[in-house]
Structures are given as structure tokens and as C-alpha cells.
């Protein structure tokens, strides 16, 4: 259902435009440099294009860093059949404010700022009114491959700058590295949001994390920051040392080992499932205590489990994507206060195609971040 929701959201055209400025809504020249895919091969190469002129409610942002997300792979390669080329990916954006509209009060020139997976919503439905814009009833506008306020196709953070309504921008503390901030805007918030929603922040409780990639390693970091006892489940023994010694997990379990799994029956209060590959659910459901919660943030092709796994244990299965503006800002502030940083590999834009190939092979610990400022010329 979540995948279907995501697909449907991409086809919806929302949105109130930014309040018009006295200038034209379109840039006069192609002054934005980016890297774009031109077709389903997904191969990225330099591309010059125009951004809309900032309106009175907009912020113009000089992009310094952009994270590489699996969503970039999906849409550059037309994975859902709706890609609009040329396509500039990237929705984990960090940068510095270079211009603000006359109605903008939250930001000033020089501020550190972030943009995540969406850049507009209807601003009038019950979800927008609750600052849950990601679930906008009329459909949010994605940061790339969506329809922008001026009717053009949105283009993402593999580019030199971006113009966004201030509502969808996030303040990044000056002492938090911008390269580290970028992955928070998708990978970080995707696991943080359901964890706080389901009160997985109760000190002393037990958490299981399925998968140790870009999302999973952040779930471990948040779990430890919340004071939870964290168990990592993986199919790869090679991740054990890092899970325990570097990320600080309390236990590492090979999920295919039936004896290890059985030993943990009814031992976990919560599970965060970050795995997008197909996998069985009943073995994990059996690990939850009575009333335990499993939250799914990955996108396997199907979710299948016995009703008994749910009913006899009074268990809860929940899904989640990213989050609205309120919770996202809360997460950024929490990371800054607790000095929580994603594990990243900083790369130049010229390495983007190779990085995507490595991402497909799961050969990254744990998030690529493009240094836009230094390499995009």
C-alpha cells in the first residue's frame, strides 16, 4: 500500500504557488548547473537549466551537499514509468541561504539550511494543518520529478542552487556539518519519525533493526541515543564488527540462523524494518513482545505474515515514509544536540554514476554525499 501511495502521489498536481513577486516567475537564463539523466539508462551528465525567480515567500539556496538516495536510482532509470527527462535527482539537500523573499522571516542570507523529499503541498488539508505535509491529501510535490509552483518539473539537489518556499526548508545549526546534515533529510527522518510516533524512545526498552544500510544505521544511532537495547538483524556476517564496535549495537544476529532467532522469541518491544528486499515477516513478528510494534520503512514487493503472528500477540504493524516539517526540524535539532552524525562517504559530482552502481551493490557505508560546492563547476 505504501508503494502504491508513493506512485499515486507522483501523479498528482498540487499546489498553491508561492505568492507572486514583482518579477517573472521564470528565470531568464539557464544559470543553474546540474547533473541530469536524459533517458532510462540513468546515466548522469552536466546539464544547464533555469530555476524560477524567487517569490516573496521563497528561499534561494546555494547547495553545498546532496545525499545519494535509492530514490535517485529509481527515477533516473524510470523505475515507476513516470520519469520526466531531463531528470535532476537529489532530495537530501544541504546548503546556505543566498536570497530570501520579502515575506520570509525564518531565514536570512548566510543561514545553513536543508531541503528534503518534498517542496510543496496544498497547505489547507487536515494533514498540512497538522504539519504532516508529506501526507498531504492532494499530494505533496516531490523535490525532483514533480510539478513545481510555476508548472515546471522540479529538479533536485544534484545542482548548484534551488528555490523553495520557506515552509519546506529546515534550519541546520551552524555547528552541524552540512555534509552530515544532508542524509538526515531522507534516511534520518524516515526512521526517526516512526520511532517517535510509536514511542520507541523509552529508555531501557528493546529495539530490533532489520538491515544495516543508510536507514538501518541511523535507526541504530537513534536507538542508542534513546537509551534502547539494540539488536541488529542482517544476512551478512561481515557487518557484525561494525554494528557492535562502531555503531554500538548491543547484539548482532544473522537472520537466517534459526537458533539465534528462536533464542530471541518475545524479547523485543519494537522492530524497525528497513529492508527493501523480499523477506519473511513471521520470524520477526515472533520476536516481538505482547503488544510490540513493527514499523516498515522499506519497500519489499509484498508484506505477508500469518494473522496469528499479529492477533495472538496483540502486535502492531505500521508503515511510514518520511515526515512533516515539524518532526523533521525536531529530528535535526535532536541530532545537533546529541551529536548524532550519519556515516558518510563524501564524493565529487563526477563520481555520481559510479556511486549509484556501488549503491546498487550495497557497497557504501552508509550514505554517499556529493560535495556540490567543491566539485560542481
Mean pLDDT of the chain: 92
Q: How far apart are CA 136 and CA 14, in angstroms?
A: 9
For position 15, what pLDDT does the model report? 46
Which pLDDT does position 149 carry in this prediction? Answer: 80
Q: Does the pLDDT value for residue 86 go beyond 90?
A: yes
Residue showing cell 541546520: 172
What nine digits make up the cell of 243? Answer: 554494528
**Could you tell me the pLDDT band of residue 324, with boundaries at 50, 70 and 90?**
very high
Specify the range with the lowest mean pLDDT, choosing from 52-61, 233-242, 324-333, 349-358.
233-242
**pLDDT (mean) for 320-337:** 97
Q: Answer yes or no: is pLDDT of 13 > 90.
A: no
CA 89/CA 156 separation, integer angstroms: 5
| Whether residue 51 has pLDDT greater than 50 | yes
Q: What's the predicted TM-score (pTM) here?
A: 0.91
For residue 105, is pLDDT > 80?
Answer: yes
User: Rounded to whole angstroms, how far apart are CA atoms 143 and 359?
Assistant: 21
- Give the lowest-confidence range in 14-23, 78-87, 249-258: 14-23
pLDDT confidence bin for 261, thresholds 50/70/90: very high
- Mark 51-61 as b/e (b = at least 16 C-beta within 10 Å): bbbbbebbbbb
Query: Would you say residue 10 has pLDDT above 90?
Result: no
Of the given ranges (14-18, 283-287, 318-322), which has the lowest mean pLDDT? 14-18
φ and ψ at residue 192, rounded to 5 degrees: -65, -45
From CA 68, how far away is CA 76, in angstroms rounded? 12
- pLDDT of the residue at 334: 98
Gyration radius from the chain CA atoms: 20
Angle between helices 325-338 and 187-197 (to 10 degrees): 100
Amino acid at each position: 500500500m505504501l508503494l502504491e501511495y508513493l506512485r499515486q502521489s507522483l501523479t498528482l498536481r498540487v499546489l498553491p504557488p508561492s505568492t507572486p513577486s514583482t518579477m517573472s516567475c521564470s528565470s531568464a537564463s539557464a544559470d543553474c548547473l546540474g547533473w541530469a539523466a536524459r533517458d532510462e539508462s540513468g546515466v548522469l551528465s552536466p546539464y544547464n537549466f533555469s530555476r524560477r525567480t524567487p517569490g516573496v515567500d521563497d528561499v534561494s539556496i546555494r547547495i553545498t551537499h546532496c545525499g545519494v538516495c535509492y530514490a535517485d536510482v529509481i527515477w533516473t532509470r524510470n523505475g515507476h514509468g513516470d520519469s520526466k527527462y531531463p531528470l535532476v535527482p537529489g532530495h537530501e539537500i544541504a546548503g546556505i541561504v543566498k536570497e530570501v523573499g520579502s515575506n520570509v522571516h525564518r531565514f536570512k542570507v548566510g543561514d545553513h539550511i536543508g531541503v528534503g523529499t518534498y517542496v510543496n503541498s496544498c497547505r489547507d488539508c487536515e494533514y498540512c494543518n497538522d504539519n504532516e505535509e508529506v501526507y498531504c491529501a492532494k499530494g505533496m510535490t516531490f523535490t525532483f520529478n514533480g510539478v513545481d509552483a510555476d508548472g515546471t518539473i522540479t529538479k533536485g539537489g544534484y545542482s548548484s542552487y534551488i528555490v523553495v518556499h520557506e515552509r519546506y526548508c529546515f534550519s541546520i545549526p551552524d555547528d552541524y556539518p552540512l555534509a552530515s546534515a544532508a542524509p538526515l533529510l531522507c534516511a534520518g527522518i524516515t526512521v526517526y519519525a516512526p520511532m517517535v510516533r510509536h514511542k520507541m524512545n523509552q529508555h531501557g526498552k528493546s529495539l530490533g533493526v532489520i538491515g544495516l544500510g543508510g536507514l538501518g544505521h541511523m535507526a541504530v544511532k537513534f536507538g542508542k541515543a534513546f537509551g534502547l537495547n539494540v539488536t541488529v538483524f542482517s544476512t551478512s556476517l561481515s557487518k557484525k564488527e561494525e554494528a557492535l564496535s562502531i555503531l554500538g549495537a548491543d547484539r548482532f544476529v544473522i537472520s537466517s540462523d534459526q537458533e539465534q532467532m528462536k533464542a530471541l522469541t518475545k524479547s523485543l518491544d519494537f522492530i524497525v524494518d528497513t529492508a527493501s528486499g523480499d523477506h519473511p515477516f513471521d520470524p520477526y513478528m515472533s520476536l516481538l513482545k505482547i503488544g510490540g510494534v513493527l514499523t516498515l520503512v522499506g519497500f519489499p514487493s509484498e508484506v505477508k505474515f500469518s494473522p496469528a503472528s499479529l492477533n495472538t500477540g496483540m502486535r502492531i504493524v505500521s508503515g511510514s515514509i518520511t515526515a512533516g516539517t515539524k518532526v523533521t526540524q525536531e529530528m535535526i535539532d535532536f541530532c545537533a544536540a546529541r551529536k548524532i552524525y550519519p556515516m558518510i562517504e563524501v564524493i565529487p559530482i563526477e563520481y555520481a554514476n559510479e556511486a549509484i552502481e556501488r549503491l546498487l551493490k550495497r557497497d557504501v557505508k552508509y550514505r554517499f554525499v556529493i560535495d556540490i560546492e567543491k566539485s560542481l563547476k
